[in-house]
Amino acid sequence: MPKILIVDDEPHITLLMEQIFEDFEERGVDILTADNGEEGLEIIKKEKPELVFLDIMMPIMNGFDVCDEVKNKLGLKDVYIILLTAKGQELDRKKGMEVGADMYVTKPFQKKYIIEKAAEVLGVEL
């Protein structure tokens, strides 16, 4: 069963993302959540989600560090990580790609774009 992990310390963003992916749940996709980077990393290690939406600015462990750990230290190249963040500076985008992010998307984002990208990564028909 495919899995999407949403890692964000803002409850309203997590709730919005869960609502966006309701149709995915009906198609057999598990939606997992974490509210800090450390918890997100533990879920990634245990559950191996195919797709992770990862905020950057979070308590305990930031998204850059989580992404670096997953992609470069653990070598989990098959976990598709989308940094979903308010940090829109080119320097932040560059750092995100350097630590191994597959995509960098700034908030506010287009719901349709997120859905289409998730469907593509997971191979889910909408």
Domain boundaries, the chain: 3-122
CA 16 to chain CA mean position, Å: 14
Give ∠ CA 67-71-75 in degrees, rounded to 5.
150
Length of the chain: 126
pLDDT of residue 24: 95
User: Tens digits of per-residue pLDDT, 83-124?
Assistant: 998 888 999 999 999 999 999 999 888 999 999 999 999 999
The alpha carbon dihedral of 50, 56, 57, 60 has a sign of positive
Q: How many helices (H) and strands (E) does the chain have?
A: 6, 5
pLDDT of 53-81, one tens digit each?
999 999 899 999 999 999 999 999 999 99
Distance CA 87, CA 72 (A): 22
Note the pTM of the prediction, 2 decimals: 0.96
Which conformational region is residue 104 in: left (phi greater than 0), alpha (psi within -120 to 50 degrees), or beta?
beta
pLDDT digits (tens, 9 = 90+) for 106-115: 988 899 999 9
Tell me the per-residue pLDDT of 8-45, one tens digit each, with 9 for 90 and over: 999 999 999 999 999 999 999 999 999 999 999 999 99
Q: How far apart are CA 119 and CA 124, in angstroms?
A: 5
* CA torsion, ordered 106, 109, 112, 118, to nearest 10 deg: 40
- Structure confidence at residue 108 (pLDDT): 87
Say which CATH class 3-122 falls into: alpha beta
The residue with tokens 């998307």 is 105
